[in-house]
Amino acid sequence: MTDAQPFWVAGRPRTSDTVVTVHSPYDGSVVGSYCVPGPADVADAVAAADAVQPAALATTAAQRADALMYVSQQLSDRSEEVAALITSENGKPLMWSRIEVNRAVSTFRWAAEEARRWSGELQRLDTEPPAAGRMAVIRRFPHGPILAIAPFNFPLNLVAHKVAPALAVGAPVVVKPAPATPLTALLLGGILAETDLPAGMWSVLPLGNAETAELVTDPRLPVISFTGSETVGYAIQSGQPDKHVILELGGNAAAVVLGDWSSDEDLEWAASRIATFGNYQAGQSCVSVQRVLVDDSVYDRFLPLLTAAVTALPTGSPWADGVVVGPVINEAAADRIESWVEQAVAGGATLLAGGGRDGTTIAPTVLADAPPDAAVSCEEVFGPVMVVSRVSGTADAFARVNDSRFGLQTGIFTHDLKTAFRAQRDLQVGGIIIGDVPSFRADQMPYGGVKASGFGREGLRSAMTDFTHDKVLVLTGLDL
């Protein structure tokens, strides 16, 4: 198949005789095909990342920033093309694909800006008499080349959140996109190839699990940035104790509606936001709303608003105008989600909305009073399913949020400033969103979780810090 997309080794396109076809999650139609790297290609990519380190470190801030801005501008100029490709291989409605492209444009732009600010700090050392005349220059340098393993749910922007900060600090990066959605990352490789970065600074290798395992264990890739399943992430971490491993593993995010959020306008806003962001990306986001905790004082007013808002969400073809909820990634995911809903209902949960299925499309689903040990309550559904529960006051709500092995982000609908600060102190999560859903993310802010949601932080400056270490230069004999 001559039209198969090439992969990228050290900034150059390569092909192979092994070709894989990508199908649409929605209707199974052929989206495209790509060439699979062989062992020699993988070896060349890693060797290039290792060898290019001196040249990568020698790039100027302007060179790195200009390359990152070029990528940002190209994604902006080609936004409709890129959004269509995301929808084709991922299945998310076009409205969400367009938002993802816009976010990636911002992500690369922020990386360019941070690359220009990446300067280090000065520290006086003459705070004690023996250190008179001494000053420390503290700068950060890469741990080494980075293995970036990306998931299927954001095939552009989650790749961007690994590639952009790596290039911003001058670290080579080897990208392993998700097998279900490699075409978007390969397109990004084509844009990167048009920059003047040293060729070995990046590769894009669409590999299977066995080949990826070899990359994970390669000592020339001392940093692993992984976004994906908890099982795989923990296996990487435990198997590579001598590497710097950054994990973003997901969650079962809670949205809390407290008693002071009580006007009709308040409740309608919360219902609309929770309905949308419990089901955007078909619920395939680690910060989509899964648990909805509602104070007793507003529960009976809020529940019908939420149910109506969920029921009204346009669901169907990701190409249709106005569709908000499309398919999940494949039949296996749909089977699992459907079985979890059935198990919850069999265990005593009340089905208030949805519950149906058409192929890989799951109707947006609302369950009330699901058992706390049901999978829809305590695991990550990663589908368009929400569980609603009553709580009695702030203390009960916060205890319920923390009663989870996950801890990524939480949304708190409250007007009380003291409650907001209490939430930041007491909730065992990486981020608290006041007045909105946990799904909010600004791409420049620190992003990541605690407990089973992972380790480390994304967000441009935070990721740049995570990819690097301090190196101290002490100057002596200065007139300070």
* pLDDT tens column, 106-150: 999 999 999 999 999 999 999 999 999 999 999 999 999 999 999
For the entire predicted model, the pTM comes to 0.96
**Are 475 and 135 in contact, with CB atoms under 8 Å apart?**
yes
The answer to whether residue 2 scores a pLDDT higher than 80 is no
Residue carrying structure tokens 């844009």: 191
Q: Same domain, yes or no, for 344 and 281?
A: yes
Q: Which long-range contacts (CB under 8 A, 24 or more apart) does 350-356 make?
A: 352/303, 352/307, 352/388, 353/307, 353/310, 353/311, 354/310, 354/311, 354/384, 354/385
Whether 422 has a pLDDT exceeding 90, the answer reads yes
Domain assignment of residue 480, yes or no: no
Asked if residue 369 and residue 235 are part of one domain, the reply reads no
CB 66 within 8 A of CB 109: no
Tell me: do 20 and 33 sit in the same domain: yes
At residue 255, what is the residue type?
Answer: A
Q: How confident is the model at residue 209 (pLDDT cuts 50, 70, 90)?
A: confident
Within-domain flag for 448: no
pLDDT of the residue at 452 = 97
Pairing between strand 202-204 and 173-176?
parallel
Q: Are residues 434 and 458 in the same domain?
A: no
CB-CB contact of 464 with 456 (8 Å): no
Shared domain for 434 and 465, answered yes or no, is: no
In this structure, is residue 84 part of a structural domain? yes
State yes or no: is 378 an active-site residue: no
Among candidate residues 89, 286, 338, 458, the one labeled active-site is: 286
In a domain, 449, yes or no: no
Looking at the fold, whether 107 and 242 belong to one and the same domain comes out as yes
Confidence tier at 175 by pLDDT (50, 70, 90):
very high
Q: Which residue type is seen at 427? A: L
Same domain, 101 and 244: yes
State the residue range of the domain holding 345: 254-442
CA-based nearest residue to 65, from 111, 105, 102: 111
CB-based contact 381:286 (threshold 8 Å)? no
| Same domain, residue pair 120 and 228 | yes
- Confidence label for 375 from pLDDT (cuts 50, 70 and 90): very high
> Minimal CA–CA distance to 452: which of 237, 179, 241, 204?
237
The CATH number covering residue 419 comes to 3.40.309.10
Structural domain contains residue 478: no
CA angle 253, 350, 278 (to 5 degrees): 25
**Mean pLDDT calculated for residue range 294-302:** 98
pLDDT average, residue stretch 336-357: 97
CATH at residue 186? 3.40.605.10
pLDDT in tens, 40-93: 999 999 999 999 999 999 999 999 999 999 999 999 999 999 999 999 999 999
Residue 122 belongs to a domain: yes
235, 95: one domain: yes
Residues 238, 384 within the same domain: no
Q: Which member of 248, 338, 380, 458 is catalytic?
A: 248
Q: Mean pLDDT, the chain, as a whole number?
A: 97
pLDDT over 60 (residue 1): no
Domain membership of residue 343 (yes or no) is yes
Assess whether 388 and 459 both reside in one domain.
no
Q: How many CB atoms lie within 10 A of CB 304?
A: 12
Assess if residue 387 is contained within a domain: yes
Domains: count for the chain: 2
Could you tell me if 123 and 185 lie in one domain? yes
Concerning whether 81 is annotated as a catalytic residue, the answer is no
Cα–Cα distance for residue pair 36/16, rounded to 1 Å: 6
The residue with tokens 């955007």 is 280
Give me the mean pLDDT over the 284-312 stretch: 98
